[in-house]
Amino acid sequence: MHAKIAKNLGIFKPMINDVAYIGSYPSVTKIPSNAMPQYAFVGRSNVGKSSLINMLTDRKALARVSKQPGKTQMINLFAVDNAWCLVDLPGYGYAKQSKKMRNSWNKMVRNYLLGSNQLQLVFCLIDSNIPLQTNDLEFINWMGSNQVPFAIVYTKIDRVRKSKRPSQIPSIRRSLLEYWEKLPPEFQASAITKQGRDAILNYIADLSSAQMKK
Ligand code: GDP
């Protein structure tokens, strides 16, 4: 009986009621421990990470916190509905990034990805409007070699020209498939149209509840 009722219930749109800034940390060892699963967002600078985070959480300027001077190179944590942690990682590939900055990014982000016990999944953002960049590929392949679980989010999907829609994502996928036998979960997102919001949030909810049942 219940199964029949459940079938007819449909699916709620995911809602977020509360987002609280936890803090900004220079290294994984400084992050205060809590039981919440962590979901990290990372990508090349300008990929649309702040816009995506604001869109997902329905907060106009949440990710602005992470853009304040001194915090762009930090690991920024937010508690979502007291259920999971959104981890805003610093972006890579700034045009003006010095070698020293690149090294410190590598150290901080890679140590976090390898060292956080709470990390469930990384959402790696890729701009759907341009070909796959070398630094995206290097980072993704590094996650693969180190068995860091990740999903791909193709950002700014609204901006892909109509004529290019059939070929743009397949061409990025082809570049990845030169190195990968099978791709991880993929999402297409737009901060403008909110495409991808429900799929990403439902995916996080599913993973978190599967984790709790373990
Ligand atoms: P971040 O550096 O990765 O945090 O990127 P931002 O969120 O600051 O976005 C970089 C630029 O891309 C800004 O000019 C945004 O307005 C634009 N942008 C971000 N997301 C989208 C999107 O989904 N669609 C469109 N059309 N523009 C976007």
User: Residue 7 pLDDT more than 80?
Assistant: no
Q: Which atom of ligand 1 is nearest to the CA of 189?
A: 23
191 touches ligand 1 (CB under 6 Å)? yes
User: Residue 11 pLDDT more than 90?
Assistant: no
50 touches ligand 1 (CB under 6 Å)? yes
Residue 2's pLDDT is what?
A: 56
| Bridge partners of residue 42, in order along the sequence | 124
| Distance of alpha carbon 41 from alpha carbon 89, whole angstroms | 6
User: How many domains would you assign to the chain?
Assistant: 1
Quick check: 36 and 79 in contact, CB under 8 A? yes
Closest Cα partner for 208 from 27, 21, 65, 79? 79
Token code pair at residue 152: 């791909």
Global pTM reads 0.93
Residue 1's pLDDT is what?
A: 46
> Residue 71 sits in a domain of what CATH number?
3.40.50.300
54 touches ligand 1 (CB under 6 Å)? no
- Residues 51-75: tens digit of each pLDDT: 999 999 999 887 777 777 666 789 9
Beta strands in 156-209 (DSSP E): 186-188
User: How far away, in angstroms, is 82 Cα from ligand 1 center?
Assistant: 27
Domain limits for position 173: 4-213
